[in-house]
Amino acid sequence: MHWASGRVLHDRTFRTVTGGEVLSVLGDCAYQVAFAWLVLSVSGSAVTLAAVIICNLVPNGLLILVGGAVTDRWSPSHVMLCSHLSRGLLVSGLCAVMLTGSVRIWQFYAVAAAFGLADAFFWPASGSIVPLLVDAGDLPAANAVVAAGEQVAMFAGPLLGGAVMAAFWRCSASASPTPAMSRSRPGSRSAPPPGCSAGSTA
């Protein structure tokens, strides 16, 4: 198995796809922690957070079979790429409304539902692409490499998400927050912490 793992890692296409998939899992896990923290900070409601999570799970559960059918019909790599781009745009848009101070609760529901939709197409494609990259004899080793990378990403992602949100709130302590963010940080200081400029937001 060790020899086979080394062999699949010498395949440039496999390394590229696997590296991208591991980074995707890392980003997803970081996003989930940061997004939940943001929803709680802005809404101050665990019920709202639960509703946002449901908005994510429902389209994912309903459409994952559709995602599998689409993956069978088109290239899994293209489906994964479209999903990556969609989720990247969603996160970028959410960051933009945060930085402009115009974040609203309904936007959390919309982002969560759209993320669930994108995930419904990504995961079937992700599961079917590895057999297309390696020989049948190398498939167990390839799956082991992918699984190991994803496990590391699942551990590191939440830590990254928590660190990013902690740094965001710390550096934005003296920025002009939205009323919702002000309520979520009743102990905000009037002076910026070391390393953050007075107008820093991230």
CA 84, chain centre distance (Å): 9
What does the alpha-carbon distance between residue 117 and residue 38 come to, in Å, rounded to a whole number?
21
Q: How confident is the prediction along the chain (202 residues), in pLDDT tens digits per residue? A: 554 556 777 778 888 888 888 998 898 899 999 899 989 988 999 999 999 999 999 999 999 999 889 988 888 888 988 998 999 999 899 888 888 888 899 999 999 999 999 999 998 998 888 888 888 788 888 888 888 998 999 999 899 888 888 887 777 655 544 444 444 443 444 344 444 443 443 3
CA 162, chain centre distance (Å): 13
Is residue 189 included in any domain, yes or no?
A: no
What does the alpha-carbon distance between residue 149 and residue 60 come to, in Å, rounded to a whole number?
23
* Cβ proximity of 81 and 70 under 8 Å: no
When divided into structural domains, the chain yields a total of 1
Give the residue numbers spanning the domain of 73.
2-161
* pLDDT computed for residue 195 by the predictor: 42
Is residue 184 included in any domain, yes or no?
A: no
What does the alpha-carbon distance between residue 130 and residue 2 come to, in Å, rounded to a whole number?
18
Q: Rounded to two decimals, what is the model's pTM?
A: 0.73
Is residue 153 included in any domain, yes or no?
A: yes
Cα Rg, the chain, nearest whole Å? 20
Is residue 185 included in any domain, yes or no?
A: no
Q: What number of CA atoms fall less than 13 Å from residue 134's CA on the CB side?
A: 28
CA 64, chain centre distance (Å): 18
Q: Residue 22: give its domain's CATH number.
A: 1.20.1250.20
Coil, strand or helix: which one is 104? coil
Is residue 195 included in any domain, yes or no?
A: no
* pLDDT computed for residue 117 by the predictor: 94
* pLDDT computed for residue 184 by the predictor: 44
